Amino acid sequence: MKKVIITGKAHPILAEKLTAAGYAADYRPAITREELVHELPGTEGIVLTTRISIDADIINQAPDLKWIGRLGSGMELIDTAYAATKNILCVSSPEGNRNAVAEHALGLLLNLMNNMTTAQQEVKSGIWKRDENRGTELSGKTVGLVGFGNTGSSFAALLKPFGVTVLAYDKYKFGFGGEYIKEASLEQICRYAQVISFHVPLTEETFHMGDYPFFRSLEQKPWVLNTSRGTVIHQADLLRALEEKLIAGAGLDVLENEDPASLTGTEAVIFKGLLTKPNVMITPHIAGYSHEAFYKMAIVLLEKLGLY
């Protein structure tokens, strides 16, 4: 029987539909890379999330591999170019969690602009401050989106009722502007945006895109959001930008190192520095992890594989 290894947490419907399609679905959400290597012979499909990368070495040890499915967005964990030389199909399912990411980004932004977390913590301590926690309205602001793919466009759609102007930069897309959405250069976003949100894949071009020179170029002292990949923003430079008041605040769902137990000394200092800032909100990579997205990512992947 054809075998599929599911290497990360997935909705049960994924294994159910794979089984119905004649596969032996091996659900191994805690499997290590070494264990995966031993299971590769006879494996026709691999499903992954964010834990294990599929490089040329893995592919070479999987002679029966026909397809690789990524739950969610971002194909940086797969050597897609090498897979193509072996006629291995690679698919992802960003359509499944794009709305969840967009809603989370909006939640981060509204929380930051209205000092919600700070105010709640103060109230829990018996402190009642109104003037100090006066909020700033999103309505009428200029929002810059870096990347206008699945999540960027979904975030833009959620912003429409706020009456904002969206400046969207995407190096690889054109002709998507209209109404409140304006195609823009990165320089225009840096000049005019009062909010900047990153929605890009991790590539050599986007690695540390948010560095100190980037923050220095921001003329409106914007709120900065990142729900894409942690290394898109250089955290040390972000902390410096906050300390120098180059930005109003930051909402992060992703970090350069997302395992607090493995932080180096320098990483720990930077992490603690961010956590102590009242204008910083950090969540544990949950933006695309809603209950609905958990289900939809599996369905989208199955549809793209022709199994649903």
Closest CA to 110 of 149, 139, 142, 151: 139
> In degrees rounded to 5, what are phi and psi of residue 6?
-100, 110
**What's the rounded Cα separation, in Å, for the pair 44 and 41?**
9
Q: Given the DSSP bridges, would you call strands 280-282 and 165-169 parallel, antiparallel or unpaired?
A: unpaired
Amino acid at 110: L
Q: Report the b/e string of 68-94 with b at 16+ CB within 10 A.
A: bbbbbbbbbbbbeebbeeeebebbbbb
Which residues neighbour 180 within 8 Å (Cβ) at sequence distance 6 or greater?
159, 160, 163, 164, 165, 166
Cα diameter, the chain: 67
User: Is there a contact between 181 and 166 (Cβ–Cβ < 8 Å)?
Assistant: yes
Strands lying side by side in the sheet with 2-6: 23-27, 2-6, 43-48, 67-70, 89-92
**Chain centroid, CA 259 distance in Å:** 16
**H or E segment to which residue 105 belongs:** helix 94-113
Q: Annotated active-site positions, please?
A: 229, 258, 285
Amino acid at 282: I
**From its phi and psi, is residue 282 left (phi > 0), alpha (psi between -120 and 50) or beta?**
beta
For the four alpha carbons of 28, 34, 36 and 38, in that order, the dihedral sign comes to: negative
